[in-house]
Amino acid sequence: MNRAVSVLLLWCLLGVPAAAAQTATPAPPTVAASGYLLIDMDSDTVLAAKDPEQRLEPASLTKIMTAYIVFRELRDGSIRGSDEVVISEKAWKTPGSRMFIEVNKRVSVDDLLKGMVIQSGNDASVALAEHVAGSEEAFANLMNEHAQRLGMHNTHFVNATGLPDPEHYTTPADIVRVTEATIREFPELYKLYAVKEFTFNDIRQHNRNNLLWRDDSVDGVKTGHTEAAGYCLVASAKRDGMRLISVVMGTDSEKSRIRESRSLLNYGFRFFETHRLYGAADRLTRTRVWMGDREEVSLGLADDLYVTIPRRQYDKLNARTELRSQIQAPLGRGQKVGDVIIELAGEEILRRPLVALDDVAEGGLWRQAVDTVLMLLE
């Protein structure tokens, strides 16, 4: 992507005039990858991107979804970490990276998870898939169901490992979605991605995400490589309360995927900052309700509102609300009645639904009659 186009894309995504962009913040770095994406996790602001919706082979990035499903099964009590899994011949024979499990031996779910997440074991991935769903094929169907639920609409899985298949693909944007879901839903289990080594069967293997050794703020996530996919890396880092996720797919070497990921993360942390402006259910304002059993209702947001902006621009932020006219009962908690608009230097950069924080029931006949007259006079 041309650097001038990159900066215009970035600032269009942020809602900031291009003229301001030219002087306030440099363009994103040039990244040698088939596709990439850098996003702030809290605000979902895209800070740099190239073909984020392009379908690409994910290689072992696939295992982020495999682990996500196992995490859900553990949380729901369908399986336990202490469960012993009998290793099938298929799992034992799976080619590629391995944790070196042996056929017909019993291995705990906890050890298989470590073998998959830390050592990127294809054998462990298949063993877990079979334990959860009965077969890898059935597990792939489960993967696709979760992908659709998470909004990964340009993704299709046929296996739990990422071994090449023409019908096995995803995108940088979709990989971000499952990574975000993992971090949000399973913060304790996510810590597995920061473990630097694991020894199984007297064989010690290091985590293939070399960023864990080079940047203390990095706490995940996953590498991937096949000849067709190239070298891929999803990285997540947190500095001063700001979490960024980068995805690079299709680089030409291990060094390249590390270099490009560091370049993206450093760019995001150096030139941007994220602020939590309002919390979910914070009362932002109140408004008149007609025909109700009370005259006013508190208004706020259904979710926390974060904004990512160029550094040293916080004093140029402004928030305002737009309300629907003549709001009438019955009114349900969470029902949209307007918008919260965030502006930077006078330009709108974010809009979120303004919702009722309480239920308002219909008033009695007298209240409705009075309000009908008052509404006509308003």
Q: 19 pLDDT exceeds 80?
A: no
Beta-strand relationship, 35-40 and 242-251: antiparallel
- The boundaries of the domain holding residue 47 are 35-273
Same-domain check for residues 69 and 120: yes
What was the pLDDT predicted at 374?
A: 78
Residue of 242, 316, 246, 305 whose CA lies nearest to 273 = 242
Closest CA to 221 of 263, 179, 250, 258: 179
Please tell me whether residues 186 and 266 are part of one structural domain. Answer: yes
Minimum mean pLDDT among 112-121, 295-304, 365-374: which range? 365-374
> Which one of the listed residues 63, 97, 256, 263 is annotated catalytic?
63
Tens of pLDDT, residues 57-105: 999 999 999 999 999 999 999 999 999 999 999 999 999 999 999 999 9
Task: Count the alpha carbons within 13 Å of 218 in the hemisphere toward its beta carbon.
Answer: 23
Domain boundary among 225, 258, 273: 273
Least confident range from 153-157, 184-188, 366-370: namely: 366-370
Q: Are strands 230-239 and 242-251 parallel, antiparallel or unpaired?
A: antiparallel
120 is catalytic: yes
Average pLDDT (354-372) is 86
The string of pLDDT tens digits covering residues 32-54 is: 999 999 999 999 999 999 999 99
Is the pLDDT at 316 greater than 60? The verdict is yes
What are the angstrom distances between the C-alpha of 258 and each of 24, 30, 55, 97, 343? Answer: 27, 14, 22, 19, 36
pLDDT at residue 22, as a whole number: 36
Judgement on whether residues 98 and 201 belong to the same structural domain of the protein: yes
Q: What is the predicted pLDDT for the residue at 369?
A: 79
Number of domains into which the chain is organized: 3
pLDDT-derived band at 317 (thresholds 50, 70, 90) equals: very high
- Confidence (pLDDT) at 372: 82
For residue 332, the model assigns a pLDDT of: 94
191 and 335 co-located in one domain? no
Contacts of 157 (CB under 8 A, 6+ apart): 62, 65, 140, 143, 144, 147, 168, 170
Does the pLDDT at position 18 exceed 60?
no
* pLDDT value at residue 52: 97
Closest CA to 249 of 268, 233, 267: 233
pLDDT in tens, 193-224: 999 999 999 999 999 999 999 999 999 999 99
pLDDT at residue 12 tops 90: no
Mean model confidence pLDDT for the chain:
92
Rg (CA), the chain: 25
pLDDT computed for residue 17 by the predictor: 40
d(CA 28, CA 242): 18
> What tens digit of pLDDT does each residue of 338-349 get?
999 999 999 999
Percentage, residues of the chain above pLDDT 90: 87
Structural tokens at position 123: 């054998």
Domain final residue pick, 210, 239, 273: 273
Q: How confident is the model at residue 373 (pLDDT cuts 50, 70, 90)?
A: confident
Could you confirm whether 236 is annotated as catalytic? no
Which range is least confidently modeled, 1-10, 276-285, 313-322, 356-365?
1-10
375 falls in which pLDDT band (50, 70, 90)? confident
Active-site residue, selected from the candidate residues 60, 97, 246, 263: 60
Same domain, yes or no: 253 and 354: no
Q: Is 63 a catalytic residue?
A: yes
Task: Give yes or no: residues 110 and 180 share one domain.
Answer: yes
User: Do 17 and 116 share a domain, yes or no?
Assistant: no
Q: What is the pLDDT of residue 244?
A: 98
DSSP 362: B
Ranges assigned E (strand) in 64-105 = 84-86
Instruction: Identify whether residues 49 and 171 lie together within a single domain.
Output: yes
pLDDT band at 24 (very low <50, low <70, confident <90, very high): low
pLDDT at 10: 42
- Tell me which of 120, 125, 236, 261 is the catalytic residue: 120
Say if residue 265 is in the same domain as residue 290: no
pLDDT tens per residue across span 324-334: 988 988 999 99
Give me the CATH number covering residue 320. 2.60.410.10
Residue 233 pLDDT exceeds 90: yes
Structure tokens at 119: 């050592």
Give tens-digit pLDDT for 141-154.
Answer: 999 999 999 999 99
22 and 69 share one domain: no
Which residues in 305-342 are b (16+ Cβ under 10 Å) and which e?
bbbbbbeebeeebeeeeeeeeebebebeeeeebbebbb
Q: Which helix (H) or strand (E) holds 285?
A: strand 285-288
Q: What was the pLDDT predicted at 371? A: 65
Taken in order 252, 235, 276, 332, is the CA torsion positive or negative?
A: positive
Assess whether 20 and 69 both reside in one domain: no
Q: Domain holding 203: CATH number?
A: 3.40.710.10
Q: Identify whether residues 26 and 43 lie together within a single domain.
A: no
pLDDT at 16: 41
Q: What is the pLDDT of residues 261-279, one digit of tens each?
A: 999 999 999 999 999 999 9
Residue 4: per-residue pLDDT:
31
